[in-house]
Amino acid sequence: MKIQRTPLAFLKNSLIATLMIVTTLAMALPPDTQAMLAPTELMAAAPSKSVSRSEDLKTIQTTLESKMVRQRLSEFKLSPEQINARMSQLSDAQVHQVASQIRTINPGGDGGLGILVALLVIGILVLLFVYLFKRV
């Protein structure tokens, strides 16, 4: 008893094999990155290019005015007056440190959107493989 292979079944099997190979290679290969040491001239010049206290306070104030941060601070039972009083007690170095930390992070962030998209793509591929294997 010989099983006849139709061209459509062969096409499906080859598509499944190609998708599996491409997906495996795409996940296995490391991304192309470059790294190098920072020149010492730039590192020495960085502290002289500091931001003034007023600009740092403005950065902190705009962050404190965001809805999410205000809500979180109200959960800690902090009123705007208490926050302003604590901010005025900070030294210039502390204000600059807080402002630079705010500048380096994105307070809103992407909410893990990259991870969500990756999981969604993997889920779609799994469903596609299951669907194609059932039809073959």
Mean pLDDT of the chain: 79
Instruction: Give the pLDDT score at 122.
Output: 93
pLDDT at 108: 54
In order of 25, 52, 119, 121, 133, the CA distances from 115 in angstroms are 19, 37, 6, 10, 27
Cβ neighbour number for residue 19 with a 10 Å cutoff: 14
- Tell me which of 110 and 36 has the higher pLDDT: 36
Between the alpha carbon of residue 112 and those of residues 21, 91, 108, 116, 118, the distances in Å are 27, 34, 11, 6, 10
Q: Is the pLDDT of residue 82 over 70?
A: yes
Q: In this structure, are residues 6 and 136 in contact, taking their beta carbons and an 8 Å threshold?
A: no
- The predicted structure's pLDDT at residue 99: 84
Q: Please report the pLDDT score of residue 50 as a whole number.
A: 53
If 0-12 CB within 10 Å is exposed, 13-18 middle and 19+ buried, where does residue 119 land? exposed
Give percent of the chain with pLDDT exceeding 90: 10
**Which of 30, 29, 23, 31 is closest to 122 using CA atoms?**
23
Q: Quote the pLDDT of residue 110.
A: 56
Phi, psi of 109 (to 5 degrees): 65, -175
For residues 71-86, average pLDDT: 87
**How does pLDDT run across 28-77, given as a tens digit for each residue?**
877 777 777 766 664 444 444 456 888 888 888 888 888 888 888 888 88
